[in-house]
Amino acid sequence: MAIRTVLAITLLLTNIGFVSAMEVTDVRIGAHPDKTRLVVELSEKVPYRIFTLPNPYRMVIDLPQVEWKIGAKTSSRSSGVISSYRFGLFQKGNSRLVVDMKSPAQVLRHVLLPPSGKNKNRLVIDLKSVSPALFQRSERRFVSRDWVDPKPQAAIVRPAVLPPSKPGKKGFQAHKRVVVIDPGHGGPDPGAIGTSGLREKVVTLRIAHTVKRVLEKSGRYKVFLTRNEDVYVPLRKRFELAEGARAELFLSLHADSNRDRRLRGVSIYTLSERASDKEAAALAAKENRSDAIAGIDLSNQSDAVASFLIELRQRQTMNESAIFSEILIKEVAKTSRLLRNTHRFAGFAVLKSPDVPSILMELGYLSNRQDERLLRKRKHYIKVAESILRAADKYFVRKERLSRS
Ligand SMILES: [Zn+2]
């Protein structure tokens, strides 16, 4: 290609905005006697929305989709009323900064300042401590004048219209089985963070892509992911996507962390009203916090995380989940290290589909140095994906046999 053509294309891309992206270049917190000031430095003037949420006390700042040029680390720079913050893509077209507050606080003032001197565009927010009662009264939306809600995106998984099932030759139906893989966390919710900084949301997405590739290569499966990029998807939406795709299996992928850094190995979880043990209950509580971490208002979601009634239909699904999890454990054991009591159960919000057999797989401990090293390796991803493939094959052969007899 002639240099002139390359130049012309580059100029064209620059003009239509493909090259330059809006950026957040710094986040600063300052504690003053009468207020805590948060400054978000921006490459350009943007519309924004601020709101506060209780349980736990949070402030959420929504921006258009931006690039975060402030390092990957979620900050725990505690100052004033702010204890920590996280950021990431909340949904297409909408990035989010979630600020954790030590105690209830109110937005005293918010303003977007234009560049002046060395300073770039700055969104300045002042917070003031208030009583819980006052906080409750002030929970409301602060919207800047030009904020427009991003258009709701089409679901990642469209309801799949499957061809009528015909019995196949080798124990498989002629149509492909639909499997949904759910890479845990994403966007402003990083999940667990490893000893050398590897983030759970990154590992789960990488492994999900490998599982999709390996399963689809077999020619027997159609695999959908609940997210294809570093974006947050609410827990309920994840299993609803699986239902919409008429999936026959739902696998939520995670990686745990523990204060005991010696703990290693894979464990597999299914849904149950009562947890199998204290650790499983604690893990479910931790994974269920995902929505709160991503800055979602849970106050009008009655049953997503709260207790639930198990119907007959769900019992059948839970039995299927348990059968798949037992098969998977045997396959994983052939190549990977398992945690003791490998199959456990608890009230995981993401496993609550009444129709799709669902399991949650903790791929290892990011808090353990050896596990974290494994979770960076492509070779290990393929090993995991191949054990999932073998287990799915066995599970569906069994299902086919039962449906014929
Ligand atoms: Zn997780």
Exposed e or buried b for every residue in 273-298, given b needs 16+ CB within 10 A?
Answer: eebeeebbbebbeebbbbbbbbbbbb
> CA–CA separation, 158 vs 327, rounded Å?
29
126 is a domain residue: yes
117 alpha carbon, distance to own chain's centre: 39
> CA–CA separation, 253 vs 207, rounded Å?
8
Considering the domain architecture, whether residues 256 and 114 belong to the same structural domain is answered as no
Dist. CA 27 → ligand 1 center (Å): 26
Dist. CA 201 → ligand 1 center (Å): 8
Dist. CA 220 → ligand 1 center (Å): 28
Angle between helices 200-217 and 378-404 (to 10 degrees): 50
Predicted pLDDT at 76: 59
Helix (H) or strand (E) holding 230: none
Instruction: Please say if the pLDDT value at position 119 is more than 90.
Output: no
Dist. CA 108 → ligand 1 center (Å): 35
- In this prediction, residues 340-363 reach a mean pLDDT of 91
371 phi and psi, to 5 degrees?
-65, -45
Predicted pLDDT at 159: 42
Q: What is the pLDDT of residues 55-83, one digit of tens each?
A: 889 999 999 999 999 875 555 567 899 99
Q: What is the pLDDT of residues 356-383, one digit of tens each?
A: 999 999 999 999 999 999 999 999 999 9
Dist. CA 291 → ligand 1 center (Å): 11
What is residue 42's DSSP assignment? E
Dist. CA 106 → ligand 1 center (Å): 31
> CA–CA separation, 372 vs 264, rounded Å?
9
Dist. CA 85 → ligand 1 center (Å): 18
Dist. CA 325 → ligand 1 center (Å): 18
Dist. CA 256 → ligand 1 center (Å): 6
Q: Label residue 313 by pLDDT band (50, 70, 90).
A: confident
Considering the domain architecture, whether residues 266 and 351 belong to the same structural domain is answered as yes
Considering the domain architecture, whether residues 289 and 385 belong to the same structural domain is answered as yes
CATH number for the domain harbouring residue 182:
3.40.630.40
The DSSP bridge pattern shows strands 58-64 and 94-101 to be antiparallel
164 is a domain residue: no
Amino acid found at 369? R
Dist. CA 113 → ligand 1 center (Å): 38
Q: Which residues does 3 contact at the CB level (< 8 Å), separation at least 6?
A: none
Instruction: Please say if the pLDDT value at position 156 is more than 80.
Output: no
User: What is the SS3 assignment for 341?
Assistant: strand
160 is a domain residue: no
Q: Of 96, 128, 143, which residue is a domain's last?
A: 143
Predicted pLDDT at 10: 42
Dist. CA 33 → ligand 1 center (Å): 38
Dist. CA 375 → ligand 1 center (Å): 14
Dist. CA 185 → ligand 1 center (Å): 6
Dist. CA 252 → ligand 1 center (Å): 9
Dist. CA 284 → ligand 1 center (Å): 9
Q: Of 120, 143, 166, which residue is a domain's last?
A: 143
Dist. CA 199 → ligand 1 center (Å): 10
Instruction: Please name the residue that has the structure tokens 């297409």.
Output: 92
Dist. CA 326 → ligand 1 center (Å): 21
Considering the domain architecture, whether residues 357 and 220 belong to the same structural domain is answered as yes
Residue 157, classified by CB atoms within 10 Å of its CB into exposed (0-12), middle (13-18) or buried (19+), is: buried
166 is a domain residue: no
CATH number for the domain harbouring residue 61:
2.60.40.3500
Q: Label residue 305 by pLDDT band (50, 70, 90).
A: very low
7 is a domain residue: no
Dist. CA 214 → ligand 1 center (Å): 23
Q: Of 118, 143, 168, which residue is a domain's last?
A: 143
Considering the domain architecture, whether residues 125 and 198 belong to the same structural domain is answered as no
Longest dimension (CA), the chain: 79
Predicted pLDDT at 16: 44
Q: Which residues does 62 contact at the CB level (< 8 Å), separation at least 6?
A: 48, 49, 50, 90, 94, 95, 96, 147
User: What is the SS3 assignment for 93?
Assistant: coil
Amino acid found at 63? L
Considering the domain architecture, whether residues 133 and 233 belong to the same structural domain is answered as no
Dist. CA 287 → ligand 1 center (Å): 5
Dist. CA 203 → ligand 1 center (Å): 10
Predicted pLDDT at 163: 44
121 is a domain residue: yes
Dist. CA 156 → ligand 1 center (Å): 21
Considering the domain architecture, whether residues 135 and 186 belong to the same structural domain is answered as no
169 is a domain residue: no
122 is a domain residue: yes
Dist. CA 280 → ligand 1 center (Å): 13
Predicted pLDDT at 21: 83
User: What is the SS3 assignment for 206?
Assistant: helix
Considering the domain architecture, whether residues 290 and 385 belong to the same structural domain is answered as yes
Considering the domain architecture, whether residues 212 and 315 belong to the same structural domain is answered as yes
Considering the domain architecture, whether residues 122 and 193 belong to the same structural domain is answered as no
Calculate ∠ Cα 111-116-120, nearest 5°. Answer: 70
Q: Is the pTM of this model over 0.85?
A: no
Tally of domains within the chain: 2
Beta bridge partners of 61: 50, 97
Dist. CA 360 → ligand 1 center (Å): 9
Q: Which domain holds residue 202?
A: 177-297+309-404
Q: Are 274 and 204 in contact (CB under 8 A)?
A: no
Dist. CA 283 → ligand 1 center (Å): 9
Q: HSE on the CB side for 388, CA within 13 Å?
A: 32
Dist. CA 17 → ligand 1 center (Å): 35
Dist. CA 298 → ligand 1 center (Å): 19
Considering the domain architecture, whether residues 208 and 103 belong to the same structural domain is answered as no
Considering the domain architecture, whether residues 256 and 318 belong to the same structural domain is answered as yes
318 phi and psi, to 5 degrees?
-65, -35
Q: What is the pLDDT of residues 195-249, one digit of tens each?
A: 999 999 999 999 999 999 999 999 999 999 999 999 999 999 999 999 999 999 9
Predicted pLDDT at 308: 52
